[in-house]
Amino acid sequence: DARVTQTPRHKVTEMGQEVTMRCQPILGHNTVFWYRQTMMQGLELLAYFRNRAPLDDSGMPKDRFSAEMPDATLATLKIQPSEPRDSAVYFCASGFSLTGELFFGEGSRLTVL
Amino acid sequence: TQLLEQSPQFLSIQEGENLTVYCNSSSVFSSLQWYRQEPGEGPVLLVTVVTGGEVKKLKRLTFQFGDARKDSSLHITAAQPGDTGLYLCAGVNNAGNMLTFGGGTRLMVKP
């Protein structure tokens, strides 16, 4: 049963610490997305990749967030330094195109104290 | 930026009731997707509508795409507690290179 796998599922950290979230997209999917979800803002697009190349990361605070795809089986989202306002659920999703069906992971719930 | 407004934001009903949730925009979309998200999980695609006026049915769920492809609705007949969740619409722009999510409707169906 193919699925998007995200780690960690939960992370509690202190302000100023570095946080790295990892995602294994579904094998064969060439488009990978990072979203952030909060009650106030809903689902926000942070960044996305096609064939491992970053296409758009305009949704990310550039000074502290970075997203990479070191290989086709791994996407990472890093926050350094983390701040309390970064507390949210971060979702990775993969698919075959920018606008087709998205397959989401279960999310990484981040709490920054 | 193409905005999608979903209404209502919250809905709490009793099992067996019918309901309709809406997804509206001032922009035209080439297609529109509906997702359901259950607590602790990621959104899961329910349906994609492509043609203006199109109606799709998925058991007790009926999805309609507006004639002008600017809006969509989801009607649930005889809601069940298992329908509880966050319903998200997502529109694809006319250029076909952007998917935009609405803010969602949070549905609770009480037994």
Tokens of A47: 């960044």
B103–chain A nearest CA distance, Å: 5
B45–chain A nearest CA distance, Å: 7
Q: What is the pLDDT of residue A61?
A: 87
What are the pLDDT digits (tens) for B34-70?
999 999 999 999 999 999 999 999 999 999 999 999 9
Q: Confidence band (pLDDT; 50, 70, 90) for B2?
A: low
Mutation site, B23, B48, B49, B101, interface A, largest A CB count within 10 A: B101
State mean pLDDT over A43-49.
Answer: 93
Q: What is the pLDDT of residue A58?
A: 84
CA dist A105 and A17 (Å) reads: 24
Q: Among A9-23, A91-105, B14-28, B65-79, which stretch is predicted with the lowest mean pLDDT?
A: A91-105
> Is B7 a residue whose pLDDT tops 70?
yes
Q: What is the pLDDT of residue B96?
A: 79
State mean pLDDT over B81-88.
Answer: 97
Residue A61, number of CB atoms within 10 A of its CB: 12
Which among A98, A101, A107 has the least Cβ separation from residue B42?
A: A107
Cβ of A43 within 8 Å of Cβ of B43? The answer is yes
Cβ of B42 within 8 Å of Cβ of A4? The answer is yes
Q: Residue A73: helix, strand or coil by DSSP?
A: coil
CB contact B96 to A (< 8 Å): yes
**C-alpha pair distances (Å), A51 with each of A5, A83, B81:** 18, 31, 40
B49–chain A nearest CA distance, Å: 12
Residues of B in contact with A47 (CB under 8 A): none
Q: Confidence band (pLDDT; 50, 70, 90) for A97?
A: confident
* Residue B59 Cα to chain centre, angstroms: 15
Cβ of B99 within 8 Å of Cβ of A101? The answer is no
